[in-house]
Structure 1
Amino acid sequence: MEYIADRITINEKVCNGKPTIRGKRITVQTILEFLGAGETIEEILHQYPSLEKEDITACIQFASQLMNRSYIIKSVA
């Protein structure tokens, strides 16, 4: 298991290798989708009592770090 940002883990055997929170079966993508849908941090913590506020902050930081990379759009036939 590889730790990223102290709270984000990637393990090919958990959630098909998607980044998760502290090895739990809760993906960063799930948390970001809840935030994008307008859920508050408090609402997410209520739905996932095993999470901490710092876990959600780590998800946001992780997504922000991904935006620091350069991307190239390629045409697919």
Structure 2
Amino acid sequence: MNWQERIVIEPNILVGKPTIRGTRLAVEFVIDLLAQGWSNEDIIENYCITIEDIRACLSYANEALKAEKVYPIPA
């Protein structure tokens, strides 16, 4: 999945949060809906996006987490 074709970061839309191209739906919003138990079908029906958009959100989140660096703080 090439999320770059569907996910954009534009400073004038939601203060630069990653969104689905052509919408004002943030990636984090879609991920949160999934975490709350919404089905793909519910999201598609309620927000007029595609399954490819949902997959792009998941792919973006996956890459963001892979790039995250975590450093232990000594006690």
- TM-score calculated relative to the size of structure 1: 0.82
Q: Distance in 2 between matches of 1:70 and 1:39?
A: 26
The count of aligned residue pairs is 71
Q: Which residue of 2 aligns with 1:69?
A: 67
Note the alpha carbon deviations across 1:2-40, whole angstroms, 9 max, x for none. Answer: xx5210000000001000000411100110000000100
**1:70 deviation in Å?**
3.9
Does 2:18 match 1:26? no
Is 1:57 aligned to residue 66 of structure 2? no
Distance across 1 between alignment mates of 2:9 and 2:61: 14
Q: Equivalent residue of 1:12, what SS?
A: coil
From the two aligned structures, give the one with the greater helix fraction: 2
Secondary structure at 1:68 match in 2:
helix
Aligned amino acid, residue 29 of structure 2: T
Amino acid at match of 1:7: R
TM-score, structure 2 as length reference: 0.85
Partner of 2:14: 15
Give the unaligned 5+ runs of structure 2: none
Q: CA RMSD in A?
A: 1.6
| Unaligned segments of structure 1, at least 5 residues | none
Structure 1 CA distance, aligned partners of 2:23 and 2:11? Answer: 13
**More moved, 39-48 vs 64-73:** 64-73
Q: Which has the higher contact order (CA 8 A, sep 6+)?
A: 2
